[in-house]
């Protein structure tokens, strides 16, 4: 039985750090374990221009406690007014590593996102030309479409047409939640990847709805039925280089989660690695954890993997706080619902 595992230091290819007091509280939770992260731009107002991304990057670095190291990989929030030249410049300088597409209204702070995909065609063409990845929140917003079908519908209605119309565009389907998305990614060549969260490897929709509504399991895309969770576990633990870790750790205060209209997002930064190790261990796939958490993401983003390593040790159940305190109020840490035996040493 394996009780010790040393892997290259992981990165997080989809992370929400927010700003101000929340940023200061959540950043150490990520920087403790992860070397780099793709930083989501859905602030209010959103991070749209290269100048805004540079300023946000400075605020992140200023919030980093002394003695910790962490590299924020910045993204731009795609709007119908995004300037292709500004995107190209921000990418050429190394500041920006991806552009994020939110269908308007699909998720938290997505109101400035895209309604008419024809209006971002010039930006997507520029991105294909320079090899800059497009990260997508893959859900349609059509009120006629059932919320559990919105990811599958997005593939057919939006993503596949965009990819066909823009040859060479490199796309990351973020936080995939369905067997449909896994199959779609597998059907493509190397220009399509997908991030998978730790929580979607653990929960299905019963966790949200059975025995009372559990707001801390509510995120978007919403967790689907068990067959889909199994497909995600299979993809994550397969070693297939197109699948890699993006935690989508998305802090909201308890007041905003435990509400008549609760916000979407699970806060997982604190215990993601312990959760992942448990999932991979149960699958008999610990030897593939490094690929998923530390190798496949850098390969897709054409960056070197980290040189330093982390060691995970299996032992008595790990303790971690149920909540972290922030200047805006407490934030509940994701509870996988089973004991975690792997700790990062
Ligand atoms: N995943 C979520 O449920 N919420 C994210 C937004 C997102 O990634 O869709 C957030 O910013 O809170
Ligand atoms: Zn999203
Ligand atoms: Zn997210």
Angle of CA points 219, 225, 231, to nearest 5°: 95
Residues 205-218 have a mean pLDDT of 98
Closest by Cα among 90, 162, 89, 135 to 300: 135
The pLDDT assigned to 189 comes to 84
Tokens 């939006």 belong to residue: 158
Q: Cβ atoms within 10 A of the Cβ of 32, count?
A: 15
| pLDDT band at residue 274 under the 50/70/90 scheme | very high
Q: Is the CB of 107 under 6 A from ligand 1?
A: yes
Please report the ipTM that was assigned to this predicted complex. Answer: 0.99
pLDDT in tens, 58-105: 999 999 999 999 999 999 999 999 999 999 999 999 999 999 999 999
* Distance between CA atoms of residues 16 and 271, nearest Å: 15
| pLDDT band at residue 236 under the 50/70/90 scheme | very high
The pLDDT assigned to 135 comes to 98
User: 52 preceded by cis ω (within 30°)?
Assistant: no
Residues 115-120 have a mean pLDDT of 96
The pLDDT of residue 1 is above 90: no
The pLDDT assigned to 327 comes to 98
- Structure tokens, 301: 């983003």
What are the DSSP E strand ranges found in 208-263? 243-245
Global pTM reads 0.98
- Structure tokens, 223: 């967790």
Please tell me the distance between residue 250's alpha carbon and the centre of ligand 1 in angstroms.
6
The pLDDT assigned to 122 comes to 98
| pLDDT band at residue 175 under the 50/70/90 scheme | very high
Mutate to test the pocket of ligand 1, among 42, 111, 137, 334 (most ligand atoms within 8 A of CB): 42
pLDDT in tens, 300-323: 999 999 999 999 999 999 999 999
CA 2 to chain centre: 28
* Distance between CA atoms of residues 291 and 287, nearest Å: 8
Return binding residues. 14, 16-18, 42, 100, 137, 175, 220, 248, 252, 264
φ, ψ dihedrals at 220, nearest 5°? -120, 140
Catalogue the active-site residues.
248
- Cβ contacts of residue 201 below 8 Å, gap of 6+? 229, 232, 233, 236, 275, 276, 279
Return binding residues for Zn(2+). 14, 16, 100, 137, 175, 248
Please tell me the distance between residue 210's alpha carbon and the centre of ligand 3 in angstroms.
25
Mutate to test the pocket of ligand 1, among 248, 249, 256, 269 (most ligand atoms within 8 A of CB): 248
- Using a 10 angstrom Cβ sphere, with 0-12 exposed, 13-18 middle and 19 or more buried, the burial of residue 45 is exposed
The pLDDT assigned to 188 comes to 95
* Distance between CA atoms of residues 331 and 324, nearest Å: 5
Domains assigned to the chain: 4-344 (3.20.20.140)
pLDDT in tens, 7-58: 999 999 999 999 999 999 999 999 999 999 999 999 999 999 999 999 999 9
Please tell me the distance between residue 151's alpha carbon and the centre of ligand 1 in angstroms.
14
Contact yes or no for 23/60 (Cβ under 8 A): yes
């Amino acid at each position: 039985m394996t009780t010790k595992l040393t892997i290259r230091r992981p990165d997080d290819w989809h992370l929400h750090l927010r700003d101000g007091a929340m940023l200061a509280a959540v950043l150490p939770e990520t920087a403790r374990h992860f070397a780099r992260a793709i930083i989501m731009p859905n602030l209010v107002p959103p991070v749209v221009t290269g100048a805004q991304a540079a300023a946000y990057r400075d605020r992140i670095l200023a919030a980093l406690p002394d003695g910790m190291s962490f590299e924020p990989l910045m993204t731009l929030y795609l709007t119908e007014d995004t300037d292709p030249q500004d995107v190209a410049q921000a990418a050429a300088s190394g500041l920006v590593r991806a552009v994020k597409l939110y269908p308007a209204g699909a998720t938290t702070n997505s109101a400035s996102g895209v309604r008419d995909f024809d209006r971002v065609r010039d930006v997507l063409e520029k991105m294909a030309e320079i090899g800059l990845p497009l990260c997508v929140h893959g859900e349609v917003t059509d009120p006629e479409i059932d919320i559990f079908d919105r990811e599958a519908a997005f593939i057919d209605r939006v993503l596949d047409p965009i990819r066909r119309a823009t040859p060479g565009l490199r796309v990351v389907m973020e936080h995939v939640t369905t067997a449909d998305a896994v199959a779609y990614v597998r059907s493509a060549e190397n220009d399509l990847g997908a991030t998978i969260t730790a929580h979607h490897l653990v929960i299905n929709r019963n966790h949200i709805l059975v025995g009372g509504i559990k707001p801390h399991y509510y995120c978007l895309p919403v967790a689907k039925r068990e067959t889909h969770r199994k497909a995600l576990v299979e993809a994550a633990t397969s070693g297939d280089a197109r699948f890699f870790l993006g935690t989508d750790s998305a802090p909201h205060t308890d007041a905003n989660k435990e509400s008549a209209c609760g916000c979407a997002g699970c806060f997982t930064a604190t215990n993601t690695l312990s959760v992942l190790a448990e999932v991979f261990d149960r699958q008999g796939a610990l030897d593939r954890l490094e690929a998923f958490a530390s190798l496949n993401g850098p390969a897709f983003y054409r960056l070197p993997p980290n040189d330093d390593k982390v060691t995970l040790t299996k032992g008595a159940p790990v303790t971690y706080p149920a909540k972290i305190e922030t200047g805006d109020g407490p934030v509940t840490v994701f509870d996988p619902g089973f004991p975690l035996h792997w700790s990062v040493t």
